[in-house]
Structure 1
Amino acid sequence: MSSQDVVIDDFSEPIVLNLDISRGSYSMKSFQISGEVDDSVFIRMCSECFNFYLEGKIDTVFSMDFNGSSSVDSTLFFFDPYKAKSGKLKITYSAM
Protein backbone atom coordinates (compact mmCIF):
# COMPACT_ATOMS: atom_id res chain seq x y z
CA MET A 1 0.00 0.00 0.00
CA SER A 2 1.28 3.48 -0.87
CA SER A 3 0.16 6.61 0.98
CA GLN A 4 0.79 10.33 0.50
CA ASP A 5 -0.32 13.57 2.18
CA VAL A 6 -1.27 16.85 0.56
CA VAL A 7 -2.23 20.05 2.38
CA ILE A 8 -4.57 22.50 0.66
CA ASP A 9 -4.56 26.02 2.05
CA ASP A 10 -4.96 28.05 -1.17
CA PHE A 11 -8.66 28.48 -1.93
CA SER A 12 -8.27 30.92 -4.84
CA GLU A 13 -8.94 28.36 -7.62
CA PRO A 14 -9.82 24.71 -8.25
CA ILE A 15 -7.01 22.16 -7.95
CA VAL A 16 -6.47 18.88 -9.78
CA LEU A 17 -4.05 16.53 -8.06
CA ASN A 18 -2.31 13.83 -10.07
CA LEU A 19 -1.90 11.10 -7.47
CA ASP A 20 1.25 9.03 -7.44
CA ILE A 21 -0.49 5.66 -7.47
CA SER A 22 1.30 2.77 -9.11
CA ARG A 23 -0.62 1.30 -12.00
CA GLY A 24 -1.43 -2.32 -12.20
CA SER A 25 -4.04 -4.63 -10.83
CA TYR A 26 -7.55 -3.85 -9.68
CA SER A 27 -7.41 -2.00 -6.41
CA MET A 28 -8.99 0.55 -4.10
CA LYS A 29 -8.12 4.18 -3.53
CA SER A 30 -8.95 5.96 -0.29
CA PHE A 31 -9.02 9.63 0.71
CA GLN A 32 -8.96 10.75 4.32
CA ILE A 33 -9.85 14.44 4.48
CA SER A 34 -9.50 16.47 7.66
CA GLY A 35 -9.36 20.13 8.55
CA GLU A 36 -11.62 23.14 8.48
CA VAL A 37 -12.99 25.52 5.83
CA ASP A 38 -14.95 28.76 6.23
CA ASP A 39 -17.69 27.70 3.76
CA SER A 40 -18.54 24.91 1.32
CA VAL A 41 -16.13 23.02 -0.97
CA PHE A 42 -16.57 20.20 -3.47
CA ILE A 43 -14.27 17.22 -3.96
CA ARG A 44 -14.39 14.56 -6.67
CA MET A 45 -12.37 11.36 -6.90
CA CYS A 46 -12.40 11.14 -10.72
CA SER A 47 -13.64 13.31 -13.60
CA GLU A 48 -16.86 11.32 -13.99
CA CYS A 49 -17.51 10.82 -10.27
CA PHE A 50 -20.10 12.74 -8.30
CA ASN A 51 -19.16 15.87 -6.35
CA PHE A 52 -19.07 15.51 -2.58
CA TYR A 53 -20.09 18.66 -0.71
CA LEU A 54 -18.15 19.41 2.48
CA GLU A 55 -18.20 22.39 4.86
CA GLY A 56 -17.01 23.55 8.28
CA LYS A 57 -14.99 21.06 10.32
CA ILE A 58 -14.18 18.04 8.18
CA ASP A 59 -13.00 14.59 9.24
CA THR A 60 -14.12 11.98 6.74
CA VAL A 61 -12.93 9.12 4.54
CA PHE A 62 -13.98 8.30 0.97
CA SER A 63 -13.03 5.04 -0.75
CA MET A 64 -13.63 3.66 -4.20
CA ASP A 65 -12.57 0.72 -6.32
CA PHE A 66 -10.58 1.41 -9.44
CA ASN A 67 -8.76 -0.44 -12.14
CA GLY A 68 -5.26 1.01 -12.00
CA SER A 69 -4.60 0.15 -15.63
CA SER A 70 -7.86 1.53 -17.05
CA SER A 71 -7.15 5.25 -17.51
CA VAL A 72 -5.11 8.21 -16.40
CA ASP A 73 -8.27 9.58 -14.80
CA SER A 74 -8.11 6.92 -12.09
CA THR A 75 -5.15 8.81 -10.56
CA LEU A 76 -6.80 12.26 -10.47
CA PHE A 77 -8.41 14.06 -7.50
CA PHE A 78 -10.43 17.25 -8.00
CA PHE A 79 -10.83 20.01 -5.40
CA ASP A 80 -13.15 22.99 -5.96
CA PRO A 81 -13.14 25.71 -3.28
CA TYR A 82 -16.70 26.64 -4.39
CA LYS A 83 -17.75 29.24 -1.74
CA ALA A 84 -14.82 28.78 0.66
CA LYS A 85 -12.25 31.57 0.82
CA SER A 86 -9.99 30.19 3.55
CA GLY A 87 -9.16 27.11 5.54
CA LYS A 88 -6.75 24.23 5.64
CA LEU A 89 -7.40 20.66 4.55
CA LYS A 90 -5.09 17.68 4.86
CA ILE A 91 -5.77 14.95 2.31
CA THR A 92 -4.17 11.58 2.84
CA TYR A 93 -4.62 9.37 -0.19
CA SER A 94 -3.65 5.77 -0.55
CA ALA A 95 -4.01 2.86 -2.93
CA MET A 96 -4.30 -0.76 -1.88
Structure 2
Amino acid sequence: MKKALIIFILSIFFLSCDCKNCGDHRNFIVTDFSQKRVDTLVPYKNKSYVGYFIRIKGYVNDTIKIKREGYYDKNLIGKIDTLMNGDYYGTENIIWTFDPYRASEGKLEIEYSL
Protein backbone atom coordinates (compact mmCIF):
# COMPACT_ATOMS: atom_id res chain seq x y z
CA MET A 1 0.00 0.00 0.00
CA LYS A 2 2.80 2.46 0.90
CA LYS A 3 4.63 1.62 -2.30
CA ALA A 4 1.54 2.36 -4.41
CA LEU A 5 1.00 5.66 -2.59
CA ILE A 6 4.60 6.73 -3.18
CA ILE A 7 4.38 5.86 -6.88
CA PHE A 8 1.10 7.79 -7.14
CA ILE A 9 2.57 10.90 -5.47
CA LEU A 10 5.72 10.79 -7.60
CA SER A 11 3.73 10.42 -10.82
CA ILE A 12 1.57 13.44 -9.90
CA PHE A 13 4.73 15.42 -9.17
CA PHE A 14 6.33 14.58 -12.52
CA LEU A 15 3.14 15.16 -14.51
CA SER A 16 2.53 18.53 -12.89
CA CYS A 17 6.05 19.89 -13.47
CA ASP A 18 6.27 22.80 -15.89
CA CYS A 19 8.86 21.79 -18.46
CA LYS A 20 11.15 24.77 -19.15
CA ASN A 21 12.94 23.27 -22.14
CA CYS A 22 10.19 21.33 -23.87
CA GLY A 23 9.18 21.54 -27.52
CA ASP A 24 7.31 24.83 -27.19
CA HIS A 25 9.48 26.55 -24.55
CA ARG A 26 13.19 27.28 -24.00
CA ASN A 27 15.03 28.95 -21.15
CA PHE A 28 18.83 29.37 -21.02
CA ILE A 29 21.66 31.64 -19.84
CA VAL A 30 24.33 32.93 -22.22
CA THR A 31 27.83 33.60 -20.93
CA ASP A 32 29.76 32.24 -23.94
CA PHE A 33 29.57 34.72 -26.82
CA SER A 34 31.73 32.76 -29.26
CA GLN A 35 28.91 31.01 -31.20
CA LYS A 36 25.41 31.47 -32.54
CA ARG A 37 22.59 29.45 -31.04
CA VAL A 38 19.66 28.28 -33.19
CA ASP A 39 16.58 26.68 -31.62
CA THR A 40 13.32 25.48 -33.09
CA LEU A 41 10.09 25.66 -31.10
CA VAL A 42 7.63 22.97 -32.14
CA PRO A 43 3.93 23.41 -31.34
CA TYR A 44 2.06 20.51 -29.76
CA LYS A 45 -0.70 19.13 -32.00
CA ASN A 46 -3.52 19.24 -29.44
CA LYS A 47 -2.67 22.58 -27.83
CA SER A 48 -4.13 25.99 -28.68
CA TYR A 49 -1.76 28.90 -29.20
CA VAL A 50 -2.43 32.62 -29.49
CA GLY A 51 1.05 34.12 -29.40
CA TYR A 52 4.78 33.76 -28.92
CA PHE A 53 7.25 35.71 -26.82
CA ILE A 54 10.96 36.13 -26.25
CA ARG A 55 12.23 37.71 -23.03
CA ILE A 56 15.85 38.85 -22.74
CA LYS A 57 17.43 40.22 -19.57
CA GLY A 58 21.04 41.01 -18.71
CA TYR A 59 24.05 42.88 -20.00
CA VAL A 60 26.38 42.67 -23.01
CA ASN A 61 29.41 44.77 -23.93
CA ASP A 62 28.35 45.28 -27.57
CA THR A 63 25.61 44.46 -30.09
CA ILE A 64 23.76 41.12 -30.22
CA LYS A 65 21.11 40.03 -32.73
CA ILE A 66 17.90 38.14 -32.02
CA LYS A 67 16.20 36.73 -35.11
CA ARG A 68 12.92 35.03 -35.78
CA GLU A 69 13.52 33.39 -39.13
CA GLY A 70 11.49 35.01 -41.88
CA TYR A 71 10.06 37.77 -39.68
CA TYR A 72 12.56 40.06 -37.98
CA ASP A 73 16.11 40.73 -36.88
CA LYS A 74 16.54 42.87 -33.70
CA ASN A 75 19.79 44.44 -32.53
CA LEU A 76 20.25 44.94 -28.78
CA ILE A 77 23.14 46.45 -26.82
CA GLY A 78 24.20 47.24 -23.24
CA LYS A 79 21.80 46.64 -20.37
CA ILE A 80 18.85 44.67 -21.75
CA ASP A 81 15.44 44.02 -20.22
CA THR A 82 13.02 43.47 -23.07
CA LEU A 83 10.01 41.43 -24.09
CA MET A 84 9.07 40.85 -27.73
CA ASN A 85 5.86 39.08 -28.67
CA GLY A 86 3.46 38.51 -31.51
CA ASP A 87 0.47 36.54 -32.76
CA TYR A 88 0.94 32.84 -33.34
CA TYR A 89 -1.68 30.15 -33.94
CA GLY A 90 0.30 26.90 -33.90
CA THR A 91 0.60 26.46 -37.66
CA GLU A 92 4.38 26.24 -38.03
CA ASN A 93 7.64 25.70 -36.18
CA ILE A 94 9.35 28.89 -35.02
CA ILE A 95 13.11 29.16 -35.48
CA TRP A 96 14.92 31.56 -33.11
CA THR A 97 18.54 32.58 -33.61
CA PHE A 98 20.74 34.18 -30.96
CA ASP A 99 23.74 35.79 -32.67
CA PRO A 100 26.45 37.31 -30.43
CA TYR A 101 27.35 39.51 -33.43
CA ARG A 102 29.88 42.00 -31.94
CA ALA A 103 29.43 41.12 -28.25
CA SER A 104 32.25 39.21 -26.58
CA GLU A 105 31.20 39.23 -22.92
CA GLY A 106 28.23 39.65 -20.65
CA LYS A 107 25.45 37.55 -19.19
CA LEU A 108 21.97 37.14 -20.64
CA GLU A 109 18.92 35.21 -19.49
CA ILE A 110 16.85 34.29 -22.53
CA GLU A 111 13.42 32.68 -22.50
CA TYR A 112 11.13 32.06 -25.44
CA SER A 113 7.86 30.26 -25.73
CA LEU A 114 4.76 29.66 -27.80
Q: TM-score, normalised by structure 2?
A: 0.68
| Structure 1 unaligned regions, length at least 5 | none
Higher percent of residues as strand: 1
| Structure 2 unaligned regions, length at least 5 | 1-17, 19-23
Q: Which residue of 2 aligns with 1:79?
A: 98
Larger Rg: 2
Answering whether residue 55 of structure 2 is matched by residue 32 of structure 1, we say yes
Q: TM-score, normalised by structure 1?
A: 0.79
| Cα distance in 2 between the residues matched to 1:9 and 1:18 | 21
Q: Which of 1 and 2 has higher RCO (CA within 8 Å, sep 6+)? A: 1
Cα 1:3–1:16 shift into 2, 3 Å: closer
Give the % identical residues.
Answer: 34
Aligned length, in residue pairs: 91
Answering whether residue 38 of structure 2 is matched by residue 16 of structure 1, we say yes
How is 1:63-78 mapped onto 2 (pairs within 5 angstroms)? 63-68=85-90, 70-72=91-93, 74=94, 76-78=95-97
| Cα root mean square deviation, aligned | 2.2
Over 6 Å off, 4+ runs: none
Q: Which residue of 1 aligns with 2:14?
A: none
